[in-house]
Amino acid sequence: MQEDNVMEVPILVLMLQLMFTTVCQAVHPGCECVVFSAMFGKEEGIFKSPDFPQPYHANIDCLLYTFIANVGQIIEISFLDFDVRKTNLDCIRGDYLKIFLHLEKGEVNEYTPWDLLLCGSLGDIPALLYSSSSGLVLEFHTGSYTANASGFSGTFKFIDKSLFKTDGLKLPNSMCDYQFFSSDQSQAYGKFYSPRYPSTYPTNIRCSYRFRARYKERIRIVFEVVSLQKGDLSCLNRADLIRVFDGKTSADPAIRVLCNEGIELEVLSTGSDLFIEFVANSDWPGQGFKASFHFQPIEDGSLDSHRPNRLGIFTKPTESEPSASETRSSCDVTVSSDMIKNGTIQSPSYPAPYPSRTTCRYDFQGRGKERVQVVFQDFNLYRSTDDSTECTGHDSLMAFVHIEGRMEKIDSFCGNTLPKPVMSNGPRLRLEFQSLFASRYSRGFKATYSFIENFGIRTGTQLPEYPCAFVFNSNESRTGFFYSPNYPGLYPRDTECHYFFHGNLKEKVRLHFNYFDVEGVLPCEAISASDYVEFSNFMTRDRKYSRHCGQLKEFDVASDRKFFRVTFRSNDRLDGTGFNATYQFLDEVESYTAKTDKKSGSCRINGMSAVYVLVLIFLVTSFKSSS
C-alpha cells in the first residue's frame, strides 16, 4: 500500500493506549490500523473510537482495529460503551463498525467476508464477541454527516482456546462429529461445544454427538448456554436447530428440540444411548452452544434408586441436602420414573388431620420426554377466616419446576378448593407442603402422579419425530377435539406442541375454540414475552394468520387447503390454562355457518354442539380414571 493512499488518522487514535498498541500499514487498501497484540501482564486491554468520549469525526473512510493473539489463543471483545449513529436497519450505510471474527493472521482486504455489522446503541449489539482463531479485526466507517455520537470503548482479552475443547473422540474426515463412550479409562463427565464456540458457528453444517453409556448407566446433558438466533419463532421455522434423540441415531424418538436462546436446559436419557444433532443453515449464525455431559450410574443419588415405602414411593436424601430424618422427620419423598411410572402421594397421616409445623417435599424425576403430571383427588387444608386469595401465612402446597438451573415456584394451593392438574416443564417437579397450624377438621390432600410422554394430550396420534406433535386425519375422524398440554390445568412452561390436520383432496378444516387463555399481549411477540398459538396452511409460518394470545372469547379459524397446522408455544416466564377446541373436516362444497344463541350470545357451529359435550365428558372421565 502506497503512503499517499493512507488516510490521515486523528492524533488521538495514534495515542490510543500506546502501552498496548502499535500503528501499522493496513492490508486493506485505503485503511489505517491500530494493532493490539499484547496486554503486558494486565488482565485486559482497552480500545476506543477516535476522540472518545467526545463525538467522532465525519468521513472516517476506514480505520482498522487489529487484534492479534498468540497461537492457541482467541480474542474476547467486550464493549463498555457504544453509540454509533444508526441510519438504517442493516447498518450498511452511514456510520458502522464491521466485524471480522474468523481470521488466522488478523489481515483483511476488500474481498475478506465480514461477519457482523454494528450500529446503534449498546442494547443493539452483542455484549461479547469472540474470534475463532488468533486474529480479529474491527473496521470503523463514518459518513459525511457530522453526528453527535460518541463512538465506542471496550476491553479485550487473550484467552486459551483449549478451554473450549470438546471432551469426545472426533470422527475421522468429519468437521464436527464426535463420540463419547463411558469406560474405565474415560471420565464420567465432560464438556462439548458447537464448532468455533464461543465464536459464531459456520453456516451450512451438520454436527452429531453420540453418547454411549454402560449397562445400568444413563446420560445427563445440560445445555448451559444455547444462543442460535434471537426471537421466539417456532422451532419448525428455524434454520438452526439442536435435536436430541433418545437412542443411537436420528431415527429414534426425539425428546427435545432447541432453537432460539436459552440457558441451563436439562435432558436425561431413558437408556444407555443418546444422539444429538446440530444443524445450522441460516445466513446469520449465532454463538452456538456449550453443554456438559455426565454418565450416571442408576445407583447414583441423582437417579434416586432406593427401596419403596408402603405407598410405593422411593425415599432418599438429595446430594445437597441432609436426610429427612435430620430435618423434618420422614415425610420427604423422592420418586423416580426408573422404578415406578405412577402412584399416589398424600399429606402426613391422611385422611387423619396432618400435624402442625410440618414441611414435606415431594421430588419427582423423570426421563426422556417424560413430564410429571399430578392430579388431585382430595384437598382440604386449614385456612383462617382471612378472605385473601393469597396463600401466604396459610397452610399450603407449592409447586416448583426447574428453570435456568434453579427450582422456581409456579403455583400455590391452599384452603379446600381442589387444585387443577399440575405438570412439569421437563423431567423434574417438586411439591412442597407446609403446615403452620393444626386442625382436627383438616385432613390434608391426596393426589396421583404419572410420568407421561403425551403431555396430557389424549387425542390425535402422537408423532415420534417431535417431542410434542399430534396428527388428526380425516380418514380416522372428521370431527373431534384437541387442547393444550395439561388442560384444564396450567400448561407447562418452555413447551412447544404442534397439531397437524390432514384432510382428503378438496377438504378443509374448521376449528372452533371454546376456551382460550394463553399468557401474553398483542402482537404476541418476543418483545412482550408472550406465549402464543400460531396457525398456518404450511409447515412454515403463514402471514395470513396473526398470532393469538391473551384471554379470548370463542372464535373460529379455517384452513385454505387440506393441510393445517396449529402450534402452541410457551416461554419460561408466566403461564395460563391454555385452550380447548373442536375441529371438523368439510368438503369444499359443504356450507359452513355460525349461529348465535340469542339467549347466551355464544357462538356455536352447526353439528358441533355434541362434540363440545364430548370434550367435557372425556376430560372429566380421564381425570377420574387416573385416580
Q: Which pLDDT does position 527 carry in this prediction? A: 86
Whether 82 and 155 have beta carbons less than 8 Å apart is answered as: no
Cell of 64: 482498522
What integer is the mean pLDDT of 447-453? 97
Alpha helices in 43-165 (DSSP H): none
- Please give the Cα distance from 521 to 513 (Å, whole number): 18
Residue type, 531: D
State how far Cα 3 lies from the chain centre: 53
| Strand locations in 337-389 (E) | 342-346, 358-365, 371-380
What integer is the mean pLDDT of 174-197? 95
> pLDDT tens-digit profile of 330-366?
699 999 999 899 999 999 999 999 999 999 999 999 9
Cβ neighbors of 537 (< 8 A, separation 6 or more) are: 544, 559, 560, 561, 563, 564, 565
- Please give the Cα distance from 101 to 381 (Å, whole number): 60
What integer is the mean pLDDT of 463-481? 97
What integer is the mean pLDDT of 601-619? 45
Q: Which pLDDT does position 410 carry in this prediction? A: 94
Cβ neighbors of 356 (< 8 A, separation 6 or more) are: 435, 436, 437, 438
Does residue 140 have a pLDDT over 60? yes
Whether 475 and 443 have beta carbons less than 8 Å apart is answered as: no
Q: Which pLDDT does position 24 carry in this prediction? A: 55
- Report the candidate in 174, 206, 210 with the shortest Cα–Cα distance to residue 192: 210
Q: Which pLDDT does position 603 carry in this prediction? A: 39
- Domain 3-162 belongs to what architecture? Sandwich (2.60)
Class of domain 304-452: mainly beta
pLDDT-derived band at 619, boundaries 50, 70, 90: low
Cβ neighbors of 260 (< 8 A, separation 6 or more) are: 226, 228, 229, 230, 231, 232, 233, 235, 238
What integer is the mean pLDDT of 301-327? 36
Please give the residue that has the higher pLDDT: either 184 or 517: 517
Residue type, 6: V
What integer is the mean pLDDT of 375-398? 87
pLDDT-derived band at 230, boundaries 50, 70, 90: confident
Q: Which pLDDT does position 593 carry in this prediction? A: 47
Q: Which pLDDT does position 29 carry in this prediction? A: 63
Lowest mean pLDDT among 103-107, 124-128, 485-489, 590-594: 590-594
- Report the candidate in 126, 120, 110, 75 with the shortest Cα–Cα distance to residue 5: 110
- Report the candidate in 363, 384, 398, 376 with the shortest Cα–Cα distance to residue 445: 376
The structure's pTM equals 0.84
- Please give the Cα distance from 478 to 509 (Å, whole number): 9
Q: Comparing 304-452 with 461-625, is the CATH topology the same?
A: yes
pLDDT-derived band at 282, boundaries 50, 70, 90: very high
Does residue 620 have a pLDDT over 60? no
- Please give the Cα distance from 467 to 234 (Å, whole number): 13
Q: Name residue, grid cell 434453579.
A: 406
Q: Which pLDDT does position 235 carry in this prediction? A: 95
- Please give the Cα distance from 550 to 205 (Å, whole number): 38
What integer is the mean pLDDT of 316-336? 53
CATH topology of domain 165-297: Jelly Rolls (2.60.120)
Residue type, 583: Y
CATH of domain 461-625: 2.60.120.290
Does residue 530 have a pLDDT over 70? yes
Q: Which pLDDT does position 5 carry in this prediction? A: 33
> pLDDT tens-digit profile of 149-162?
999 999 999 999 99
What integer is the mean pLDDT of 11-29? 46
What integer is the mean pLDDT of 303-327? 36
**For the chain, what is the mean pLDDT?**
86
What integer is the mean pLDDT of 54-60? 92
DSSP string, 477-541: -SEEEEE-TTTTSPPPSS-EEEEEEEPPTTEEEEEEEEEEEES--TT--GGGT--EEEEESSSS-
Q: Which pLDDT does position 250 carry in this prediction? A: 96
How far lies 181's CA from each of 18, 215, 316, 591, in Å?
50, 12, 29, 61
Q: Apex CA 587: angle with CA 582 and CA 589, to 5°?
A: 125
- Break the chain into its structural domains and give their ranges: 3-162, 165-297, 304-452, 461-625
**How crowded is residue 186: how many other Cβ atoms within 10 Å of its Cβ?**
14
Please give the residue that has the higher pLDDT: either 96 or 606: 96
Q: Which pLDDT does position 613 carry in this prediction? A: 45
Percent of the chain with pLDDT over 90: 70
The SS3 assignment for 133 reads coil
- Please give the Cα distance from 246 to 255 (Å, whole number): 6
What integer is the mean pLDDT of 252-259? 96
